[in-house]
Chain A
């Protein structure tokens, strides 16, 4: 029930904010925040309930009839893994709203409505246990995100928005075809036509069918993640989106791809996933190196951060398809830490652009003297991004490499060069913006209380993930364990047949 409440609070919040914006812009911002804090309260209750319910597969579960003719129901469930993603969603939602209050000045109500609607879609994706419902939420994320980019974005926003929409929609349609294939294969075999996740887990798939159906899902999630050959929408979308949009895109939308791989691809098609694991891991390593090299070549701050995302999410993909416990846990920690650190970097980039009206790093320099607080925060986030021990990203990437080593030492060695590259581009970012001679004489205000509050929370989160990740690891563990067991047993089956 709380999960439904979570969706309703967010949706109603968006509608109320839109309605109220006719009279007062600031009231609209505060209202959205209040509703998200209500979400936060709901999450606290959920976490308490989770702590008391360890051992059950879904500690929170609702199932209502929706379209019985199709076998689609309104079915939501949360386990420890979803809980982590939900926390990330609500926190980043709050950060996005706080950080956008300076930038967004026109059509404020519609902006907040779209922002809240994206969050509804994301919360739905992280909790849906019916594949029809999942697809419904999956697509629900797109339209408001498209509006966020195309209405409030920067110079080249229309191009970026359309590219984003078409890439993700194309991926989504492949996934839809796969969902339907799975639905009919299961229906023909068992006579029960249903989109229910638990029932489809036991769908009798032949190996050849499984690989095709799995590929449809994989393409859908890989576009979002993004995996390298189909990543080209990402730099454009992240760069052109308004700050809040970039935060949501990098922090949450990309994570829905990773979540999809963990929740659907590995459990539903363990054998087929195992078959393509080497290829997926190679793509992951290519992404790590390619993203990092291209990040170094950028002059636009937001574009640089966007390419670092490709690199970091390469580690996530590597971890997921390495498939052992270390690697899976590492992937989850990276997802959380990257959400926070990249969110922070985009907020920072937005703050800089708001002050000096450019994102071009060649036109910056020597900013540290003018805005020391901003410099300090940027330094911290850059260090987090390059994987400094003691901060969240390090824990995640270390675990992924540890796990991947057991599968393929060669790929792990190449992947670990990502650490070197990330040091180069992160320090380069700091050097270009904050050090060196000042390019122009600028008198700009430093981060205010509002922005510092957000940054402090983000930094605290990253440190927590870095020094005491155990609660998060424990929360995700039962689910990851189940995934890993399926993955291993699939391997044994193929060994026997060989």
Chain B
């Protein structure tokens, strides 16, 4: 490892160093605000050390990691999401009886795991990143252990995730047995893999890896843990699982999907088409039946993964841009939606029952306006970022003439509208109590903090900016992913 290599992976080193530093600080001084600021600073410095430039050369650092502009872009997104989650957690955690400081360390570790995954070029580094991420998330989900619902969610996350990792490892072993390598690029170009007559064991290996990744992305039929975990996890953590954790794995998937020409492997292609279609339909249809906003968002995130898969399958020059842009808008929107829930949550219970949202506009007009914006963006309505993302997904499908997937997309977008509108309607529905009484007893949201409000405002700004004038973002994404194509 040359000094230059060390400089290149500086962001990950900064993050790791920051984690150790905060741990040391905690031995002398326990202060909630200070820990939060340190965590955010660590993430900010790590982001700042990313050399953001499309001209950057792709660098292979040890056989494990590859640093190119694509990995940089996703690291920015993941670290950004972690910053948002840290800041939102401050208002959420303060005033609680728990020990609060370790929460931020765990978020940093999860972010480090995501950072390793997006740069992974080897099964080993992928596994390392994945475990770092998963183990942190097990603890984060169950962090507020005073209430049984969080413990339950933690266990429900632990068991499927651990099982999926077992599948992933077994699959990796099979693939290694046939290709003689654990390096992704070498596998993809190895003669055993490229030959059309693939051995059954290799296919079993690939299938097991798909199962492992399917669990992480919550593709149907591997989605069963999602709603329970989203419901049981603290709202900011649910936001992190929905965005950074899924986004990082999707980034890895996209990187190697663009290399492999999936059309050559007909069976794999068909499997992914079926996965995409049932993921969209199950996610959206089950969301219709929910009465809990976090569960609705959980099912909606399942459906969104289905939309992303269609673009991935479309391939072509649009796919990489479409997927990345969609993930960017999805990050902004989903973090915003969970952010609103976070701010509204009381210390006893997360604010997630749909009935509680009734007439909320009379108590928190600004928050409701912002929440409406995020929901419309999830539905893909113009003026919001979600529309640009959906537009690119549609484009990728039309460009590749994937009419079946496009039809499924159209139908699902309409079903999706139904439950987003249901939340919006509830927000504006008058309550039985006289409105004057509600207005007079105005009080700030239970978990509001100034920093949290600022972050939500920023997310809203991004939402509108991408929605109205997406040019700079399209340029950025296009330049940064150009190395892939």
Contacts and interface: CB of A to CB of B under 8 A. Distances in A.
Interface of A: 66-70, 106, 135-136, 139-140, 142-143, 146-147, 150-151, 158, 161-162, 165-166, 169-170, 173-174, 176-177, 180-181, 183-184
B470 A67 contact: yes
Nearest to B422: A162
B474 A140 contact: no
Contacts of B398: 177, 180-181, 183-184
B421 A165 contact: yes
Chain B residues touching A, majority SS = helix
Interface string B450-477: 0000000000000000000111001100
A67 B414 contact: no
B376 A143 contact: yes
Contacts of B387: 139
Interface string B423-453: 0010011000001000000000000000000
A181 B407 CA distance: 13
A169 B379 CA distance: 11
Contacts of A184: 395, 398-399
B122 interface: no
B417 A166 contact: yes
B417 A169 contact: yes
Contacts of B399: 180, 184
Given A143-B381, A173-B414, A162 B474 contact: no
B237 to A, nearest CB: 31
Contacts of A151: 428
Contact of A69 (B382, B418, B471): B471
A181 B395 CA distance: 8
22 contacts: A66-B469, A66-B471, A67-B474, A68-B471, A69-B471, A69-B474, A106-B435, A135-B382, A136-B383, A139-B387, A140-B382, A150-B428, A165-B421, A169-B414, A169-B417, A176-B394, A177-B394, A180-B395, A180-B398, A180-B399, A183-B398, A184-B395
B406 interface: yes
Contacts of A166: 414, 417-418, 421
B413 interface: yes
Given A67-B471, A165-B421, A170 B414 contact: yes
Most chain B CB inside 10 Å of its own CB: which residue of A139, A142, A165, A169: A169
Nearest to B321: A69
Nearest to A70: B474
B166 interface: no
Contacts of B48: none
A80 B470 CA distance: 33
B425 A162 contact: yes
A139 B410 contact: no
B478 interface: yes
Interface of B: 376, 381-383, 387, 391, 394-395, 398-399, 406, 410, 413-414, 417-418, 421-422, 425, 428-429, 435, 469-471, 474-475, 478
Nearest to A68: B471
Nearest to A178: B398
Contacts of A183: 398
Given A147-B428, A181-B398, 13 more contacts: A66-B469, A68-B471, A69-B475, A70-B474, A136-B383, A143-B376, A150-B425, A162-B421, A166-B417, A166-B418, A173-B410, A177-B406, A184-B398
B233 to A, nearest CB: 30
Contacts of A136: 382-383
Contacts of B410: 170, 173-174, 177
Nearest to A106: B435
B157 to A, nearest CB: 34
Nearest to A151: B428
A162 B418 contact: yes
Most chain B CB inside 10 Å of its own CB: which residue of A67, A135, A161: A67
Nearest to B467: A136
B423 to A, nearest CB: 12
Contacts of B425: 150, 158, 161-162
Contacts of B395: 180, 184
A16 B387 CA distance: 27
B382 A139 contact: yes
B164 to A, nearest CB: 34
Across the A-B interface, the 10 shortest Cβ-Cβ residue pairs? A180-B398, A139-B382, A170-B414, A173-B410, A69-B474, A136-B382, A67-B471, A158-B425, A184-B399, A162-B421
A104 to B, nearest CB: 15
